[in-house]
Amino acid sequence: MAKIVILSASVSPTSRSRTGARYCEQKLQELGCETDFIDLAEVPLPPYPQGAEDKTLQSACDRFNAGEGLLVATPTYNFGASGTLLTFLHYALGSDAGKRWRPFCVLASMSGLRSALAVDYVTRTLIMERQSVAVGPPLVGIGDASMNAVTGELSADMRNRVDSQLRALVHYTEAWRNFPQD
């Protein structure tokens, strides 16, 4: 059973990206995966490296590095990923401990598709730091047009895009399990 870690980087109580990440969690479980949901709203994140000794933060980094596949969800702020995500990655990718060649997807909430390319560099970070393997482009546009603000339900079009990419993520994660590790 593929173990996929879902990292949610928004600290907003009404976060769209967290709602999207929870949808992915449910979908991945339906596809037979074991999931671990890391919500950064529950993790202390002082600027790097001031939290290096914090046990809750260390445990979140260990859980992130233990995943066989990854789903990283972030808000878009000022045409970029959230600083919360970047700070967490400074800690989680700071040591050489994580597994390599892991498949991953990125999901981003935003107010409009004008920022569709804004989180591309998160993909580059994961590839360059861990030789991770991007499964498709970032899933962008989780916003008012694709999510019901009251119920959190995704539009049919967004569900189709997410479902299709998650199926690919599971497939590649299963393949990763059979790949001889260094």
Ligand X SMILES: Cc1cc2nc3c(=O)[nH]c(=O)nc-3n(C[C@H](O)[C@H](O)[C@H](O)COP(=O)(O)O)c2cc1C
Q: Where do contacts with ligand X occur on this chain (CB under 6 A)?
A: 10, 12, 15-18, 75-79, 109-112, 115, 143
Question: Shortest gap between Cβ of 107 and ligand X (angstroms)?
Answer: 9
Report the residue number, 12 or 131, with the smaller CB distance to ligand X.
Answer: 12
Question: Shortest gap between Cβ of 161 and ligand X (angstroms)?
Answer: 17
Q: At what angle do helices 16-30 and 156-177 cross, to 10 degrees?
A: 60
Q: Report whether 177 contacts 68 (CB < 8 A).
A: yes
Report the residue number, 80 or 94, with the smaller CB distance to ligand X.
Answer: 80
Report the residue number, 26 or 59, with the smaller CB distance to ligand X.
Answer: 26
R_g (Cα) of the chain, nearest Å:
15
Task: Tokens for 19, please give them.
Answer: 């709602």
Question: Shortest gap between Cβ of 79 and ligand X (angstroms)?
Answer: 4
Q: Report whether 139 contacts 100 (CB < 8 A).
A: no
- Which of 167, 145, 143, 159 is closest to 15 using CA atoms? 143
Distance, in Å, from the CA atom of 55 to the CA atom of 82, rounded to the nearest integer, reads 23
Report the residue number, 24 or 170, with the smaller CB distance to ligand X.
Answer: 24
Task: Tokens for 142, please give them.
Answer: 């989780």
Report the residue number, 18 or 161, with the smaller CB distance to ligand X.
Answer: 18
Residues written for the chain = 182
Question: Shortest gap between Cβ of 40 and ligand X (angstroms)?
Answer: 11
Question: Shortest gap between Cβ of 99 and ligand X (angstroms)?
Answer: 27
